[in-house]
Structure 1
Amino acid sequence: MTTPATDTDPQQWEQAGVRLELDGELATVTLCQPKRRNAQSPAMWRALAGVGRSLPGTVRVVLLRAEGVSFSAGLDRAMFTPEGIPGEHTFLELAAAKDEDLDAAIAEYQEAFTWWRRSDVISIAAVQGHAVGAGFQLALGCDLRVVAEDVQFAMKETALGLVPDLAGTKPLTELVGYARALEICATGRWVGAEEAVATGLANLAVPAEELDGAARDLAGALLASPRSAVIETKALLRGAAGRSYDEQRAAERGAQARRLRDLAGIGD
């Protein structure tokens, strides 16, 4: 089983439904196939992974948004047909592959969903309308989520006989807890804006017409703080769940020592 080449050309990204815009320390990634409700395909995933690899080191905040009425309606339905998408592996081909090839194919798909939480950037998803399956997991890949009041999240994989495999299960469980995450995934039910904010799935809900402005305001607030302090704080918070109380206190001391010495101009 061979894997299609990874897209590295921004024009190819846009053909696959992804557009990157750079404005100093802010990068905006837009899903730009509104007529198809930003349905996702392996080509889109390669484009998203390519965007992550290409970001300049000066970028501090990444804003993920989507054109049209829906953030993303999930997987392109052609992926569920025997014919699949031209030039891509069908589900039948994936199922028949050797274990290592199947694992490698899914790992390649996951790359589009994993780089958003890397240590040197903070990512914000601005989500409107439907965010289903892969769309839900893409929003979960970001550090923060601002949603429109019409948002509808759903994890439909289990209802299709599959599991969520695009790196969404860990952040979902971290945000809403095991019991609610299990119920959301196993039932495939819809989660609206009010519940999303109440459970910590979303940071803020606003009217749809205010979504872009609210997300950009949040990006501006994040950019107002010194980069090194934001990176150290993110690392502290991301690692907190895996540390004991005393280990976390020690991590705080180490991070603060680095910050004090940096501010004082004292090297290691």
Structure 2
Amino acid sequence: MASPDLVLDKDGVRLTVDDAVATVTLTNPDKRNAQSPALWRALASAGQELPGTVRVVVLRGEGKSFSAGLDRQAFTPEGFDGEPSFIDLARGSDAELDEVIAEYQSAFTWWRRNDIVSIAAVQGHAIGAGFQLALACDLRVVADDVQFAMRETSLGLVPDLTGTHPLVSLVGYARALEICATGRFVGAEESERIGLANLAVPGSELDAAVRDLAAALLAAPRDAVIETKALLRGASGRSYEEQRVAERGAQARRLRDLAGLAD
């Protein structure tokens, strides 16, 4: 069996590609895969460098934790080497601060592209930015030791790395507010029960469960999956009648393609 192709390996992020499946791995287990601006830029680069042949992207973290969230060094006056500290950022103009946060968010936005299906394989801690990174993916498979928590509010901040929209979509407004405002941990059983996780398995079975799910996703024709994903992603923003129209248009494209009549 050939080894996966290494596409990117920098700043705590490794991207490998094995035919139609890409794997993005957080590679700093000694710090529980804590996140930094450099890591976010590397994650954004991974999305940009993803080959067009990839259909499924698996996101995982090395070690005992998926990601324990933002590296606390960000909150020190010194910040990270070569980076403005968060204190320095706060002194900037509204436009400057908005631009910087938007750049950080770009690491979290590409996982829901219609041409791929992303799966977060989550074990141990997934806190704050780690929780939001798992939420950035389409699907989540969790180990039985998983601990989700949104701690930003407890620190006087808000979740700003694109996690609020999928969290509300998955668990509803009231549950999302309670999880964020209290900062409490959500374990494997609860995460599966309330819809945060698609599947919870023993830690020793996590990789196998993700491989099985990836294989099942690859079994369907790619264009049908792309059209279906686009329909489902847009459903919440459409009325019932608008969704009916969208379904008809998507099906017409599929039928013409299958009949060899596509433009």
Which TM-score band applies after superposition, normalised by the shorter structure?
over 0.9
One-letter code aligned to 1:137: Q
Cross-structure match for 2:176: 181
Where in structure 2 are the equivalents of 1:106-255 lying within 5 Å?
Answer: 106-255=101-250
1:13/1:44 contact within 8 Å kept: no
Q: CA separation in 2, counterparts of 1:254 and 1:96?
A: 49
CA displacement at 1:11 relative to structure 2: 9.5
Q: CA separation in 1, counterparts of 2:20 and 2:7?
A: 24
Cross-structure match for 1:60: 55
2:6/2:15 contact within 8 Å kept: no
Could you tell me the percent identity over the aligned residues? Answer: 73
CA displacement at 1:200 relative to structure 2: 0.7
Q: 1:198-241 deviations in whole A, cap 9, x for unaligned?
A: 11110000000110111111011101110000000001111111
> Aligned to 1:222, what secondary structure does the other structure show?
helix
Greater alpha carbon shift after TM alignment, 245-254 vs 102-111: 245-254
Q: 1:28-55 deviations in whole A, cap 9, x for unaligned?
A: 0001111110000000000000000111
Q: 1:95-140 deviations in whole A, cap 9, x for unaligned?
A: 0011111111000000000100011111000000000000000000
CA displacement at 1:86 relative to structure 2: 1.1
2:54/2:116 contact within 8 Å kept: yes
CA displacement at 1:267 relative to structure 2: 2.4
What is the TM-score of this pair, normalised by structure 1?
0.94
Structure 1: give runs of 5+ residues left out of the alignment. Answer: 1-9
Question: RMSD of the alignment, in Å?
Answer: 1.4
1:12/1:47 contact within 8 Å kept: no
Q: 1:5-36 deviations in whole A, cap 9, x for unaligned?
A: xxxxx999634111111011110000111111
Structure 2: give runs of 5+ residues left out of the alignment. Answer: none
Paired residues in the alignment total 259
Q: 1:50-77 deviations in whole A, cap 9, x for unaligned?
A: 0001111111110001110000000111
> Aligned to 1:198, what secondary structure does the other structure show?
helix
One-letter code aligned to 2:94: D
> Aligned to 1:125, what secondary structure does the other structure show?
strand
1:28/1:65 contact within 8 Å kept: yes
CA displacement at 1:178 relative to structure 2: 0.3
Greater alpha carbon shift after TM alignment, 244-253 vs 41-50: 244-253
2:143/2:203 contact within 8 Å kept: yes
Dislocated runs of 4+, deviation >2 Å: 10-15
Cross-structure match for 2:69: 74
Q: CA separation in 1, counterparts of 2:69 and 2:27?
A: 14
Cross-structure match for 1:3: none
2:26 equivalent to 1:31: yes
1:148/1:205 contact within 8 Å kept: yes
One-letter code aligned to 1:22: V
One-letter code aligned to 2:163: G
Q: CA separation in 2, counterparts of 1:245 and 1:11?
A: 44
One-letter code aligned to 2:168: T
2:7/2:15 contact within 8 Å kept: no
Q: CA separation in 2, counterparts of 1:44 and 1:11?
A: 17
Q: CA separation in 2, counterparts of 1:153 and 1:171?
A: 14
